[in-house]
Amino acid sequence: MNNIITISSLSKTYATGFIALKNINLEVHQGEIFALLGPNGAGKTTLIGIICGTINPSAGHVVIDGFDHITHYREARSRVGLVPQEISTDMFETVWNTVSFSRGLFGKPANPALIEKILKDLSLWDKKDTRIMRLSGGMKRRVMIAKALSHEPQVLFLDEPTAGVDVSLRRDMWELVRQLQQTGVTIILTTHYIEEAEEMADRIGIITKGELQLVDTTASLMKKLGKKQLILQLTTPLNELPGSLAIEGLTLSKMKDEITYTYDSESKGPTITEVLNLVANANIHFKDLRTTESSLEDIFVDLVDGEVQ
């Protein structure tokens, strides 16, 4: 697999002495959607700022498409487009001028055909002569994406792309990000919304207190860390579990009317069928049965529990 970004031993201590990033090592694969998930203050914006060259690291390296972000700053920076959290652009300018000007900032020659394509892809073409101040919030966000794409970056950073937007706009944004991926752009997004990461990302990195806790494919993260539960609602409450049901992961509820068996893909304990047989053999009857599966949200909460600053 081709790595478009390689981050090695990256750390950041701010002038205040605050350690925002601790020894980050990460490889981002070409063409993937990578979600950086973490609570407020975890260091997501600092990490993006370092990769995009707006914040200096205290130690470590970032290589983008083969170029070191410090020794080959221009080459590295030109490969990256950043869509910031805040909409920051001249509100009096037209959409066309804003996006064209942005391309010029990277020293790239004018390319009206490309700008036209970007605006059409982002459904902004009919607004090309409209001043930014006259656009809706969703359109303004799309202008920020158009700006970031104007110099043809290979990697697009979206910092909290759907913070504060309504559900339907959020879905539109997800669709747009998927379309961008199909054009070959690698996408790195930061988000607080677990659902967003679960829905969109090929891989997820979880960062808390400046440390990358884990990086994995979304599917494997769910499989490895997700727990499943089998819950049996008993016909008559039990005083206690019989000895034959003294199995790891099997508990009787406080009300004594439910038996819960918690297991995961790594569990070495009995299978569901074996548990049900043991229950039947112990002459325990249940009137209902349900299963639950932890969502990425549960996994995330487990991981960051007590870590939120």
Ligand X SMILES: Nc1ncnc2c1ncn2[C@@H]1O[C@H](COP(=O)(O)OP(=O)(O)OP(=O)(O)O)[C@@H](O)[C@H]1O
Residues that bind ligand X (CB under 6 A): 14, 16, 18, 20, 38, 40-46
> For ligand X, which is the closer residue by CB, 62 or 245?
62
> For ligand X, which is the closer residue by CB, 13 or 154?
13
CA dist., res. 69 & res. 15, Å (int): 21
* Mutual angle of helices 95-105 and 137-149, in 10-degree steps: 30
> For ligand X, which is the closer residue by CB, 39 or 226?
39
Q: How far is the CB of 70 from ligand X (least distance, A)?
A: 19
**Cβ atoms within 10 A of the Cβ of 56, count?**
9
> For ligand X, which is the closer residue by CB, 16 or 283?
16
> DSSP for 196-259?
HHHHH-SEEEEEETTEEEEEEEHHHHHHHH-EEEEEEEESS--SS--GGG--TTEEE-TTSSEE
**For residue 53, which amino acid is it?**
G
Q: How far is the CB of 111 from ligand X (least distance, A)?
A: 33
Q: How far is the CB of 56 from ligand X (least distance, A)?
A: 11
User: H or E segment at 10?
Assistant: strand 3-13
> For ligand X, which is the closer residue by CB, 17 or 112?
17
Give, in degrees to the nearest 5, the angle at Cα 279 between 277 and 281. 65
Q: How far is the CB of 163 from ligand X (least distance, A)?
A: 9
Q: How far is the CB of 306 from ligand X (least distance, A)?
A: 16
CA dist., res. 210 & res. 10, Å (int): 10
Q: How far is the CB of 144 from ligand X (least distance, A)?
A: 16
> For ligand X, which is the closer residue by CB, 43 or 102?
43
CA dist., res. 286 & res. 220, Å (int): 33
